[in-house]
Amino acid sequence: MLKNDLFLRACKRDSIERTPIWIMRQAGRYLPEYRAVREKSDFLTMCRTPELATEVTLQPIDLIGVDAAIIFSDILVIPEAMGMELEMIESKGPVFHHPIRNEDDAKQLKNIDAVKDLKYVLDAVSLTKKELDNRVPLIGFAGSPWTLLTYMVEGKGSKNFSEIKKLIYNNPSLAHSLLDKIANSVAEYLSAKIEAGANAVQIFDTWGGILSQRDYKEFSLEYITKIVSNIKRNDEPVIVFSKGVHHSIPEIANCGCDVIGLDWTMNIGDVRKIVGDKVALQGNLDPTVLYAEPDSIRTKAKEVFDSYGKGSGHVFNLGHGILPDIPPAHAKALVDFVKEESKAYH
């Protein structure tokens, strides 16, 4: 059915003729066409309006030529649906004005019904599927319980993560009950996205790396594992992207996921040796390489291919999201290079 299913085949480690590429945060402010839509609507309105979410989801497919679409939304729609008031402050990022710090705060959180409370995201998924017309697969996503709880407790971006650390060390049982509740919502939400047409899902664990190895296992990976086993799916791949967790690669490979997303601090070839053919790997070019001129971008992208080596099981991506001040022509140069150069590795 899909005209280009390279991304799905790479996730399953099936043999393919070239390496597929998509870019985390590919629908975003580095594109003038995104900024034009964003000028007329604020970010959350864009998330809540399926026509606008669909429009910006398709932009990088048409303009940059990536091999997969990722639905335009945000990880914080789940805490918002649980009743937390969310504001996106220009140049500051997301803010929850009433963060969760104790049992009383936690009692205020609603149990969500993903299909009802996040219907606008599911509508965006269905509309995007229709507009994509099977050109490329569509990825759905959610935040990991740990990363979501970090935002819910800190209330905003943080440097030392003091509030979430106080919670897990002073009151671990409250932390665990919140993580469990979020994990149930995320599993239901990702299942609903698949039901609405998503061909794969990615769990973003941006803050996994602020924990020690032991605590990562207890407070993050445990709940990611629960989600992976509870997602209702046929053969839609699950990608787990935990940033900064080089210490736990074998454990992540055993969580039931199909693909591990790697940040750029790891050597993808070394990781491949550790995981063998248990999972595929996604990544992992340093996002700041895209500031360089196309010749240097190509050199650095080739280093990733050489490190991974020949054969399937690699989805090319950056090691984290594309930055807002990257020239779109540099992203396009990367995509063109990956499409051409990677043939030699298959």
- The footprint of ligand CP3 on this chain (CB under 6 A) covers a number of residues equal to 21
Rounded Cα–Cα distance for residues 308 and 246 (Å): 16
- Nearest CA to 264 out of 225, 290, 238 is that of 290
244 interacts with ligand CP3 by CB under 6 A: no
Q: Report residue 46 as tokens.
A: 């864009």
Which of 2, 43, 65, 126 touches ligand CP3 (CB under 6 A)? Answer: 43
Rank residues 26 and 342 by Cβ distance to ligand CP3 and give the closer one: 26
Backbone conformation region of residue 283, classed left if phi is above 0, alpha if psi is from -120 to 50, else beta: left
Q: From the candidates 30, 151, 189, 223, give the one annotated as an active-site residue.
A: 151
Question: How does strand 314-318 pair with strand 280-285?
Answer: parallel
Residue carrying structure tokens 């940040």? 263
User: CA 129, CA 125: separation in Å to the nearest integer?
Assistant: 6
Would you put residue 311 in left (φ > 0), alpha (ψ -120 to 50) or beta?
left
Residues 128-147 that bind ligand CP3 (CB under 6 A): 141
The DSSP output letter for 70 is E
25 is catalytic: yes
Nearer to ligand CP3, 43 or 291 (CB): 43
Q: Does position 156 bind ligand CP3 by CB under 6 A?
A: no
Q: Compare residues 13 and 138 and give the one whose CB is closer to ligand CP3.
A: 138
In this structure, are strands 200-205 and 314-318 parallel, antiparallel, or unpaired? unpaired
Nearest-angstrom CA–CA distance, 42 and 322: 20
Can residue 32 be called a binding residue for ligand CP3 (CB under 6 A)?
no
Span near ligand CP3 by CB under 6 A; candidates 8-16, 70-78, 172-180, 282-290: 70-78
Site string for ligand CP3, 308-337 (x = CB under 6 A): -------------x--x-------------
Candidates 29, 105, 123, 215; catalytic one: 29
27 binding ligand CP3? (CB under 6 A): yes
Q: Applying CB under 6 A, which of residues 24, 68, 168, 280 lies at the interface with ligand CP3?
A: 24
**Nearest alpha-carbon partner for 268 in 302, 231, 326, 307:** 307
Task: State the minimum distance, in angstroms, from the CB of residue 168 to ligand CP3.
Answer: 19
- According to the binding rule CB under 6 A, does residue 28 interact with ligand CP3? yes
Site for ligand CP3 in 79-98 (CB under 6 A): 88, 93-94
Q: Which is nearer to ligand CP3, 79 or 313 (CB)?
A: 79
Closest CB to ligand CP3 among residues 61, 231: 61
Q: Is 38 a catalytic residue?
A: yes
Query: Taking CB under 6 A as the criterion, which residues in 250-289 touch ligand CP3?
Result: none
Compute the distance between CA of residue 6 and CA of residue 19 in angstroms, rounded to an integer: 7
The DSSP code for 321 is: P
Could you write out the DSSP letters of every residue in 151-177?
Answer: HHHHSS--SS-HHHHHHHHH-HHHHHH
Among 76, 187, 259, 279, binds ligand CP3 (CB under 6 A): 76
Longest dimension (CA), the chain: 59
Task: Copy the structure tokens of residue 191.
Answer: 């299942």
Closest CB to ligand CP3 among 29 and 181?
29
Q: Cβ neighbours of residue 3 under 8 Å, at least 6 residues apart?
A: 134, 135, 136
Site membership for ligand CP3, residue 206 (CB under 6 A): yes
Q: In 3-state terms, the chain is what percent helix, strand and coil (to 5)?
A: 55, 10, 35
In this complex, which beta carbon is closest to ligand CP3, that of residue 141 or of residue 264? 141
249 binds ligand CP3 (CB under 6 A): no
Q: Which residues bind ligand CP3 (CB under 6 A)?
A: 24-29, 38, 43, 70, 72, 74-76, 88, 93-94, 141, 204, 206, 321, 324
Q: Where in the sequence numbering do the catalytic residues fall?
A: 25, 29, 38, 74, 151
